[in-house]
């Protein structure tokens, strides 16, 4: 009589081992999945995102100062990416920084985001790169943007009084 010494394996044992190999994949927490979903949302919005002129002014001022101090452009963009509060603008700065790291010029990188960086900014950056005076041009653009923001605030505040008087007059006339 011959006794079979081979171990008996059931198909359910094999299935269990397959399940355990699938379960060994890294599970992410709910909070981590939410963070990743938000990040993907910011990345999706980045090409169409309109950056406020006040934020672009601060970005331009700081970039010009860092460039004037002799910091490399990639390092400056890395620092600015960490400092900005607008999450979508962070994504844009990161993508511009990655483009520059891969060999694309700064002007070509910012041209990919025309809603974030207006024509004046991109044209002046291109001129600064061509002339080798990027930091000086960024400083002048920052001053122009700052004056534009200041003028816009003055115009809005100057229009508030006439609008309030007209609304009050219309409200009293209806009674």
In a domain, 40, yes or no: no
In a domain, 11, yes or no: no
Domain that holds residue 141: 46-169
Count: domains in the chain: 1
DSSP labels, 103-120: T--HHHHHHT-TTTS-HH
In a domain, 62, yes or no: yes
In a domain, 127, yes or no: yes
Question: Any idea what the CATH number is for the domain that residue 160 is in?
Answer: 1.20.81.30
Q: What is the pLDDT of residues 72-93, one digit of tens each?
A: 999 999 999 999 998 999 999 9
C-alpha to C-alpha distance for 164 and 40, rounded to whole angstroms: 43
pLDDT at residue 7 is higher than 90: no
CA atoms within 13 A on the CB side of 158: 6
In a domain, 58, yes or no: yes
Contact (Cβ atoms closer than 8 angstroms) between residue 110 and residue 117: yes
In a domain, 122, yes or no: yes
In a domain, 108, yes or no: yes
SS3 for 37-53 is: HHHHHHHHHHHHCCCCH
Q: CA dist 115 to 51, 77, 87, 127, 141, Å?
A: 7, 18, 15, 20, 17
In a domain, 91, yes or no: yes
pLDDT at residue 12 is higher than 80: no
Q: What is the pLDDT of residues 88-143, one digit of tens each?
A: 999 999 999 999 999 999 999 999 999 999 999 999 999 999 999 999 999 999 99
Closest C-alpha to 128, from 169, 120, 145, 151? 120
* pLDDT of the residue at 1: 47
What's the whole-model pTM score? 0.72
What is the 8-class DSSP label of residue 157?
H
Q: ∠91-88-127 over CA atoms, to 5°? A: 65
Torsion angle defined by CA atoms of residues 153, 157, 163 and 167, in that order, rounded to the nearest 10 degrees: 120
């Amino acid at each position: 009589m011959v006794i079979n010494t081979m171990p008996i394996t059931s198909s359910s044992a094999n299935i269990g081992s397959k399940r355990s190999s699938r379960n060994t994949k890294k599970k992410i927490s709910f909070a981590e999945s939410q963070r990743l979903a938000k990040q993907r949302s910011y990345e999706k919005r980045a090409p169409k995102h309109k950056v406020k002129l006040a934020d672009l002014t601060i970005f331009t001022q700081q970039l010009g100062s860092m460039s004037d101090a002799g910091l490399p452009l990639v390092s400056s963009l890395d620092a600015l990416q960490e400092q900005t509060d607008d999450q979508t603008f962070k994504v844009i700065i990161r993508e511009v920084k990655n483009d520059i790291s891969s060999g694309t010029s700064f002007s070509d990188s910012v041209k990919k985001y025309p809603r974030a960086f207006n024509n004046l900014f991109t044209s002046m950056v291109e001129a600064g790169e061509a002339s080798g005076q990027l930091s000086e041009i960024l400083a002048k653009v920052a001053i122009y943007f700052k004056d534009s923001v200041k003028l816009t605030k003055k115009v809005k505040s100057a229009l508030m009084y006439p609008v309030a008087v007209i609304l009050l007059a219309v409200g009293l006339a209806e009674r």
